[in-house]
């Protein structure tokens, strides 16, 4: 709950008006005062019950104000701050000042020019919410619900001021995050400013080509969805593009480079390049809607009321039927990894479309591998070869999969680029020293968090050398990690296991044409080879099959046939 006694909102447009409406809806008991050059907007705000009072002269509205929210266009910020400095000579002591501007570096510079430095009671912020509508008449009390508000506090920020601004936005139903000014401007240039620029450009281009605007009669939903934001306030967006010029130009350069690649693919009829781009984009869109929004690939499960599913079990008769249970997760991971590193196209059937396996698949997409699917367990991987992976734009997220993180650690240790592996909250608590330590013996440079835990930061370009490693404890993941690193190492990599572990990696490497030898409890390979693409039919998971085996075993007269179950003497659980 926000407990400010008197809040002044400077700029009673959509954003400022919606803030007032959201506070009212939350039960806010303090006063809300508004300042706006348009007295009609003030009158409407009072009539709608959003503000208690208001006016056009800032200096006349500052009595007993505890917080000022600047909700004016970015290029108007300096003038408003100057007026504040003149009217509040003791601004550093009296009032918390925050803003809603879409760019932060420019506003920080304004504060430095006006006040000499960013005062401890100034907390710059940006609600990631909006609409193509404008004015207080468009005020929406739910505009910020479940939306993010990014605060960019300076190192000298007053802790109480920061907490009060956080409570302001939390009272509106928003999720409050913090990041640096520079990071904010870079991120928003790509995710908000660039899309608006493209929408404005497309609509303007079509309008110029057809002055009668007849072309818009034939536009369908896709055009409407993509260009809706071109109806946004032109003055506000002019200010944003000018204020965040450098970051916008950088993001525009990246976009133009991608557009050029697409143009070349269309011009040359390169269907592989087109399907790779479209498929990567399609799945990236799904990925960001799920994992990065703290949901899952199986989101429907979590949409159940209260996050629970109620199962009712009653005694039945016999268990009868033929079925094929889902594919083996360990083999699904490896099919993507080895297929991506192979020369040629690998076709996979029976791929397990679980969250961990999908995260592995997405990670390779982010490293430039064209992957089609999954569609009903079928995946097509256009391999890039041993040296064909590209540096990802950001950290690679592997969900809750310890298998993926440990195997990726070995594979990425041999790359020429830097990389970072992250996981969910649970995975981030698991120690990774069991793979980081032997990889360092091979020459890899790996940084971990405290206690050897994720994230793992792997520095590329380190030459690897094969080693003999006597594992202190049996682990198929550690063994596989070192074998994958050994693919890129000079010489021979040997791993001895104190007890038998799953040999999926050895079997699959041999299946891809990369020789792995074994004698007794030791396996080894020579670095510098290559993998050849092929077809993989992922066997059904023996663990998943066990439930049906038990059902048949405890119900007399049962007859169940489980098809294509993977039977491997090294897989016992």
Tell me how far apart the alpha carbons of residues 483 and 237 are, in angstroms, rounded to a whole number. Answer: 53
Structural domain spans, the chain? 6-179, 186-269, 329-537
Three-class SS state of 248: helix
Handedness of CA 455, 461, 462, 465 (dihedral sign): positive
- Per-residue model confidence (pLDDT) at position 544: 85
Task: Tell me how long the chain is.
Answer: 573
Q: Could you read off the pLDDT of 455-475 as tens digits, one per residue?
A: 999 999 999 999 999 999 999
Tell me how far apart the alpha carbons of residues 337 and 247 are, in angstroms, rounded to a whole number. Answer: 35
Q: Which residues contact 405 (CB under 8 A, 6 or more apart)?
A: 398, 421, 423, 427, 432, 454, 456
Assess whether pLDDT exceeds 80 at residue 287.
no
State mean pLDDT over 488-507: 94
SS (H, E, C) 426-437: CHHHCCCHHHHH
Closest residue by Cα to residue 10 from 100, 92, 91: 100
- Per-residue model confidence (pLDDT) at position 302: 43
Mean pLDDT value across the chain: 89
- Per-residue model confidence (pLDDT) at position 296: 44
Helix-then-strand count for the chain, H and E: 20, 25
Assess whether pLDDT exceeds 80 at residue 555.
yes
Q: Could you read off the pLDDT of 392-434 as tens digits, one per residue?
A: 988 999 988 889 999 999 999 999 999 999 988 889 989 899 9
- Per-residue model confidence (pLDDT) at position 57: 92
Closest residue by Cα to residue 523 from 514, 532, 536: 514
Looking at domain 186-269, does it have CATH number 1.10.3660.10?
yes
Assess whether pLDDT exceeds 60 at residue 113.
yes
Distances from the Cα of 319 to the Cα of 45, 541, 550, 557, angstroms? 68, 19, 10, 8
10 vs 206 pLDDT, higher one: 10
Residue 249 CB-half CA count within 13 A: 5
pLDDT confidence bin for 530, thresholds 50/70/90: very high
Assess whether pLDDT exceeds 60 at residue 300.
no
Residue 391 CB-half CA count within 13 A: 10
Answer yes or no: are the C-beta atoms of 207 and 258 closer than 8 Å.
Answer: no
Tell me how far apart the alpha carbons of residues 262 and 258 are, in angstroms, rounded to a whole number. Answer: 6
Domain 6-179 adopts which CATH fold?
Rossmann fold (3.40.50)
- Per-residue model confidence (pLDDT) at position 572: 58
- Per-residue model confidence (pLDDT) at position 298: 44
Three-class SS state of 403: helix
State mean pLDDT over 325-344: 93
- Per-residue model confidence (pLDDT) at position 304: 45
Residue 130 CB-half CA count within 13 A: 21
pTM of the complete model = 0.61
Tell me how far apart the alpha carbons of residues 287 and 38 are, in angstroms, rounded to a whole number. Answer: 44
pLDDT confidence bin for 280, thresholds 50/70/90: confident
As to burial, measured by CB atoms within 10 angstroms (0-12 exposed, 13-18 middle, 19+ buried), residue 24 is: middle
Tell me how far apart the alpha carbons of residues 34 and 69 are, in angstroms, rounded to a whole number. Answer: 10
State mean pLDDT over 145-154: 94
Tell me how far apart the alpha carbons of residues 497 and 506 are, in angstroms, rounded to a whole number. Answer: 13
- Per-residue model confidence (pLDDT) at position 308: 65
Tell me how far apart the alpha carbons of residues 573 and 327 are, in angstroms, rounded to a whole number. Answer: 15
Give the gyration radius of the chain's Cα atoms: 29
Considering only 41-55, 261-275, 311-325, 416-430, which range has the smallest mean pLDDT?
311-325
Distances from the Cα of 311 to the Cα of 301, 317, 527, 552, angstroms? 13, 18, 52, 20
- Per-residue model confidence (pLDDT) at position 144: 95
Residue 408 CB-half CA count within 13 A: 34
**Alpha helix (H) ranges present in 228-352?**
234-243, 245-268, 271-290, 299-302, 329-341
Buried residues in 362-399 as b, exposed as e (16+ CB within 10 A): bbbbbbebbbbbbeebebbbbbbebeebeebeebbbbb
Answer yes or no: are the C-beta atoms of 199 and 228 closer than 8 Å.
Answer: yes
Answer yes or no: are the C-beta atoms of 317 and 552 closer than 8 Å.
Answer: no
Assess whether pLDDT exceeds 80 at residue 59.
yes
Domain 329-537 adopts which CATH fold?
UDP-n-acetylglucosamine1-carboxyvinyl-transferase; Chain (3.65.10)
- Per-residue model confidence (pLDDT) at position 407: 95
Assess whether pLDDT exceeds 90 at residue 132.
no
Residue 284 CB-half CA count within 13 A: 18
Torsion of CA 543, 547, 550, 551, to 10 degrees: -160
Strands (E) located in 23-66: 31-35, 53-55
Tell me how far apart the alpha carbons of residues 18 and 111 are, in angstroms, rounded to a whole number. Answer: 25
State mean pLDDT over 187-203: 90
Q: Which residues contact 502 (CB under 8 A, 6 or more apart)?
A: 330, 476, 568, 570, 571
Same CATH fold, 329-537 and 6-179? no
């Amino acid at each position: 709950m926000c407990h400010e006694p008197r809040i002044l909102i400077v700029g009673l447009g959509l954003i400022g008006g919606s803030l007032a409406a959201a506070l009212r809806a939350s039960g806010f008991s303090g006063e809300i005062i508004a300042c706006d050059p348009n007295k009609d907007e003030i009158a409407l705000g009072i009539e709608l019950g959003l503000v208690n009072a208001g006016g056009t002269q800032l200096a006349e509205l500052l009595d007993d104000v505890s917080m000022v929210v600047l909700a004016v266009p970015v290029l108007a910020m300096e003038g408003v701050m100057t007026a504040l400095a003149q009217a509040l000579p003791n601004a550093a002591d009296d009032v918390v000042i925050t803003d809603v501007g879409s760019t932060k570096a420019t506003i920080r510079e304004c504060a430095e020019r006006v006040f000499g430095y960013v005062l401890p009671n100034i907390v710059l912020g940006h609600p990631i919410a909006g609409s193509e509508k404008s004015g207080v008449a468009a005020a929406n009390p739910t505009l910020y619900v479940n939306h993010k508000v990014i605060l960019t506090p300076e190192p000298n920020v007053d802790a109480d001021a920061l907490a009060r601004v956080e409570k302001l936005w939390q009272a509106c139903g928003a999720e409050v995050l913090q990041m640096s000014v520079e990071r904010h401007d870079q991120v928003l240039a790509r995710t908000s400013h660039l899309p608006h620029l493209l929408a404005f450009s497309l609509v303007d281009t079509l309008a110029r080509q057809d002055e009668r605007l007849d072309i818009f009669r034939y536009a369908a939903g896709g055009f409407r969805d993509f260009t809706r934001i071109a109806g946004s306030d032109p003055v506000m967006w002019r200010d944003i593009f000018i204020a965040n010029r450098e970051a916008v130009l950088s993001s525009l350069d990246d976009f133009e480079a991608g557009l050029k690649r697409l143009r070349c693919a269309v011009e040359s009829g390169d269907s592989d390049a087109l399907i790779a781009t479209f498929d990567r984009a399609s799945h990236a869109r799904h990925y960001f809607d799920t994992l990065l929004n703290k949901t899952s690939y199986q989101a429907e499960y979590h949409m159940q009321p209260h996050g629970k599913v109620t199962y009712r079990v009653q005694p039945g008769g016999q268990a009868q039927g033929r079925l094929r249970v889902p594919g083996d997760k360990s083999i699904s991971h490896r099919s993507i990894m080895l297929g991506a590193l192979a020369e040629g196209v690998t076709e996979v059937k029976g791929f397990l479309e679980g969250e961990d396996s999908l995260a592995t698949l997405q990670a390779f997409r982010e490293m430039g591998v064209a992957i089609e699917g999954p569609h009903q367990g079928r995946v097509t991987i256009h391999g890039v070869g041993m040296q064909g992976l590209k540096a990802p734009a950001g950290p690679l997220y592997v969900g809750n999969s310890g298998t993926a993180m440990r195997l990726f650690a070995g594979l990425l240790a041999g790359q020429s680029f830097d990389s970072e592996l992250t996981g969910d909250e649970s995975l981030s608590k698991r120690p990774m020293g069991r793979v980081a330590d032997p990889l360092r013996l091979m020459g890899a440079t790996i940084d971990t968090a405290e206690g050897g835990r994720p994230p793992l930061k792997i520095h590329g370009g380190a030459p690897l050398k094969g080693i003999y490693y006597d594992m202190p404890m049996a682990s198929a993941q550690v063994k596989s990690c070192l074998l994958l690193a050994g693919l890129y190492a000079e010489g021979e990599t040997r791993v001895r296991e104190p007890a038998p572990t799953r040999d999926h990696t050895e079997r699959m490497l041999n299946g891809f044409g990369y020789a792995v030898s074994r004698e007794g409890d030791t396996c080894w390979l020579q670095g510098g080879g290559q993998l050849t693409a092929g077809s993989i039919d992922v066997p059904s998971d023996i663990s998943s099959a066990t439930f049906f085996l038990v059902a048949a075993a405890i119900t007399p007269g049962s007859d169940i046939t489980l098809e294509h179950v993977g039977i491997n003497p090294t897989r016992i659980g």
